[in-house]
Amino acid sequence: MSAVWDQVKDQIRSYLPKNSFSLWIHPISCLEANGTSMVLGCPNRFSRNWVMENYLSLIREKLEASGMGHMAVDFKVQARKREPSPAALPTHPDQLPLPSMPRHRNLWLKSQFTFDRFIVGQSNEFAYSASRSMASGGPCDYQSLLMLANTGLGKTHLSQAIGHTILDKDPESRIFYMTAEDFTNEMIASLKAGRIEAFKKRYRQGCDVLLLEEVHFLGGKEKIQAELGYTLDALANDNKKIIFTSALPPKDVPRMSRELTSRLTAGLVTTIADPDYETRVQILTRKAAACQVTLPQEVIHYLAERLRRDVRQMESALTCLKARADLLGARIDMDLAKEVVAALVSGEQCVTPTAIIDLVCRYYRVAPEMVSSLSRKKVHAYPRNVYAYLCRHYSD
């Protein structure tokens, strides 16, 4: 019967959003079964009660579809297995789903994203301090935190570090970590499946800490924005912690409602700027040591001077240097560093107003002269505002 249950789980996997399946269905195992009944094991009482309330009918439906007919389904809390010693644990992060699953990490929290591995510099010191304060559990003047930064500057690292710290102090904390796109996809799937009330209940009553990444993705998604707004109100009323990240200030996100903008910025808002030279040196030194690459000081300083875009660009350079050294036996020196840097930055082009207006006009299907005109029609004014924003932030 275990094989039958595995088949049923595979059917449910294709029916539910990835997060919901990983959180509720994946941990369930078949304890007992015969021709007329099946006993399923859940990791804890919270999980058992939630599955019985929200997924029992779906499980019965899939059992019948697999040829088992109408079966009685019961749920029990499965006895917890002894935890292996640290030496027996796998080297990769074993991240099991939450909420309310003691001593296990959230499915999406990466083990390397902790506060002690975050390199603090002038560009990110305030965001780092605010994140530590939010995670500490002590007295705090703000209930929500919004971190603004371009990609690759550490906002995800800090967001997940908050989750890790809270879990270290209270493994029972129900932490939901996801992107705004994950939230959107799960809500749409819940609507299609007729389970929107369960979706609302999960987020409004089953969450202690919400870590929501990339909220700029919600621009233009009016129904998703409204539902998230109600969820944020419910969490705020229950004094839950809420952490957002975004590449843009909410007021600058096209078609972001005033109501959601107000909720996103109701707490503390911090920004993470591009790392300065000294911080880039620290990042390169720390990451080179982590991947066991020995870099001469002149190479470190050369990379720090030339690679200014984000942390991922520096990580890419280190990966290239290590690969050349390991696979080709090359010696890491200035010549090799210059070759790697040339490959990384050669494709980067200067962003000009002309290129921006061409992009905006093609996207919104308007003529360049209309964007430059004084027309107040929405079809012309909106692309004009987008063009102005992009020029202000991205052109030289």
CA 160, 166, 170, 173 dihedral sign is negative
pLDDT of residue 363: 86
Of 215, 265, 229, 235, give the one whose Cα is nearest residue 174. Answer: 235
What stretches in the chain show pLDDT beneath 50? Answer: 80-105
CATH class entry, domain 277-345? mainly alpha
Torsion over CA of 306, 214, 352 and 307, rounded to 10 degrees? 0
- The DSSP call for residue 67 is I
Rounded (10°) angle between helices 155-169 and 125-136: 20
Tokens of 224: 């998703």
pLDDT of residue 90: 45
**Beta bridge mates, 372:** none
Q: What is the pLDDT of residues 266-321, one digit of tens each?
A: 999 999 999 999 999 999 999 999 888 899 999 999 999 999 888 889 999 999 99
Q: Amino acid identity of 310?
A: D
pLDDT of residue 371: 82
Query: What are the backbone dihedrals phi and psi of residue 130, each rounded to the nearest 5 degrees, phi first?
Result: -65, -40
Q: Which fold has domain 2-77?
A: GMP Synthetase; Chain A, domain 3 (3.30.300)
CB 55 within 8 A of CB 25: yes
pLDDT of residue 290: 87
pLDDT of residue 92: 43
pLDDT of residue 224: 96
* Buried-state track 198-229, b at ≥16 Cβ within 10 A, e below 16: bbbebbbebbbbbbbbbbbbbbebeebbebbb
- The CA-atom distances, in angstroms, between 82 and each of 2, 85, 282 are 22, 9, 41
β pairing state of 209-213 and 241-246? parallel
pLDDT of residue 139: 57
Which CATH number does the domain 115-271 belong to among 3.40.50.11540, 1.10.569.10, 3.40.50.300, 3.30.43.10?
3.40.50.300
pLDDT of residue 102: 37
Q: What is the pLDDT of residues 124-174, one digit of tens each?
A: 999 999 999 999 876 567 889 999 998 889 999 999 999 999 999 998 899
β pairing state of 144-148 and 268-271? parallel
Name the residue ranges covered by the structural domains of the chain. Answer: 2-77, 115-271, 277-345, 353-394
pLDDT of residue 270: 95
